[in-house]
Structure 1
């Protein structure tokens, strides 16, 4: 009798397993390629989305040139967020990004970052060309802020004069912050949002760039054409640009594109 009951129980369990509704199919892990300078808001956005949707998200942070290059050699992601729209539009031209998924999120505002107290007395772009001033810039071939810095200085006809003062071409905006916070350079052209980071608190100051000379950029988010879980990738993309998401971006010093 006991064996019959046991056999019946096993049969029922087997039937339940066979005929139970299949769980929703999701990729094991969503993957984001993000500009390194966006790390602070992106980590908060990632954590919130994981908690809300029960998914795992892996974020690769690198310079905009690096993450663009990763797409170029065939690596794929679900969501692509470089530090400037140019990289997204170039990715669209190459057939890597779904154009209809592009959403402009926030502005990237260049400023001059100086050590606390501004020991070199930097007041404008022109001061970066003064003899003896130590300047830190990002590599224009690697980071969005490096590309913008080069264009800005060239437009102001200052690049040839500033070039001899450059003590380092850093690969990311994050490393520029470190150079200035440690006093290893007198000035750096960096993003305004990076100045809100705890690593620079009390160690750096901001010198605004004249609006007529400045080149403010847009940060977009978009979905890769080969996203493994397209529905969830679209949800993540929407969340990053949502009102809730924008509150997080603003918390970290970014200005929404609609303002």
Structure 2
């Protein structure tokens, strides 16, 4: 019995010792696994000024990016009014093809009506129309296409009876002054490798260009093969007439279809090839006073000037043709 009791005692002691060893082992493991957390927590630099300075730019970039993207697309989707009313001043939304003559028109208007001034917003007529429809402030609208004028008329944007024909313009082909492609005639536009710029069909001069090319293709001197080759040589479709001229001036293309007035205004930059009047496209411009204008008196004065002998002479001097 004594032997059994001793054996049992030894077993109990063994179990206790084993339990103590296991407990120590577990404690050791726990201590080992949590040990790295302490230096990690104490080493973390988030509370130091240097760390805050490093983190700040990251936060700025992250939060600013969506705002920048939104701002970038705003002018396209919802153009904001750029101009506001000012006594005696006229805000004229004007087809971009009048860019070259606009300073002379401003000078002539201010001479005829001392104390009045005009500010031109020059862009493709399709863009100007969209700006007006989106609430941009405007006193006078000058369009290079009747279609946009008619659309705004139907929308009730003009003072009744103020929409009138203003002037007209033919299409011409301009080339860089040094003419690197050696283009001597309209036939040369079909040569392989020639690069041509035109305006998109949404732009009045783009519509006019399409008609001119079609008329040339129907004539005996050119034909369908010429037509196909010319379209194959078009490398860019621009959203305004001055943009086409810009491509030519910079030498990015060998030729561009623009209005005669653009060539006249930039004779020192270009050489030109005329399109016969019989198969050309005569673009008609219109002018009208806006119903929402808060300066209707000055706006009416500007329209009067534009239709006067003085205004018409300035337009004619810059290649526009009287109606």
Which TM bucket (shorter chain)? 0.7 to 0.9
State the Cα distance separating 1:217 from its structure 2 match.
0.8
Q: Which residue of 2 aligns with 1:194?
A: 262
Count of residue pairs brought into register by the alignment: 228
Q: How far, CA to CA, are the matches of 2:184 and 2:160 in structure 1?
A: 42
What is the CA–CA distance in structure 2 between the aligned matches of 1:173 and 1:134, rounded to whole Å?
Answer: 17
After superposition, residues 78-227 of structure 1 pair within 5 angstroms as 78-116=139-177, 118=179, 119-124=181-186, 126-141=187-202, 143-154=203-214, 156=217, 160-198=228-266, 200-201=267-268, 203-227=269-293
Q: Does 1:32 align with 2:98?
A: no
Equivalent residues of 1:33, 1:61 under 8 A apart: yes
Q: Find out whether 1:247 has 2:308 as its counterpart.
A: no
- Name the CA distance, whole Å, in 2 between partners of 1:190 and 1:207: 11
Give the C-alpha shift of residue 210 in structure 1: 2.7
Distance between the aligned counterparts of 2:104 and 2:136, measured in 1? 25
Shift of 1:177: 2.0
Q: CA RMSD in A?
A: 2.3
Judging changes above 3 Å, is the alpha-carbon distance between structure 1 residues 77 and 92 closer, same or farther for their aligned structure 2 residues? same
1:74 and 1:164 mapped to 2: Cα distance?
40
Query: Aligned equivalents of 2:277 and 2:103: distance in 1?
Result: 31
Q: Deviations over 1:43-98 (max 9, x none)?
A: 22223323523133322111111101112212231110122333222221222123
Q: State TM-score, norm by structure 2.
A: 0.64
Q: Which residue is equivalent to 1:5?
A: none
Give the conservation status (yes or no) of the 8 Å contact 1:109–1:215: yes
**Structure 2: how far apart are the matches of 1:182 and 1:148?**
23
The alpha carbon displacement at 1:190 in A equals: 0.6
* Aligned partner (choices 108, 114, 122) of residue 48 of structure 1: 108
Post-superposition offset of 1:172: 2.0
CA shift, 1:38, in A, is: 0.3
Q: Name the structure where helix makes up a greater proportion of residues.
A: 2
Residues 1:121 and 1:87: Cα distance change in structure 2 (over 3 Å):
same
Q: Helix, strand or coil for the counterpart of 1:27?
A: coil
* 94 and 205 in structure 1: CA distance in 2 versus 1, 3 angstrom threshold: same
Aligned partners of 2:199 and 2:237 also within 8 Å: yes
By relative contact order (CA 8 Å, sep 6+), the higher-ranking structure is 1
Distance 1:256 1:57 in 2: 22
Q: Distance in 2 between matches of 1:109 and 1:39?
A: 16
SS in 2 for 1:256: coil
User: Please, what TM-score do these two structures have when normalized by structure 1?
Assistant: 0.78
CA distance in 1, matches of 2:241, 2:154: 26
Aligned-partner Cα distance in 2 for 1:178–1:61: 15
Contact conserved, 1:83 with 1:219, CA < 8 A, in 2? Answer: yes
Unaligned runs of 5+ in 1: 1-25
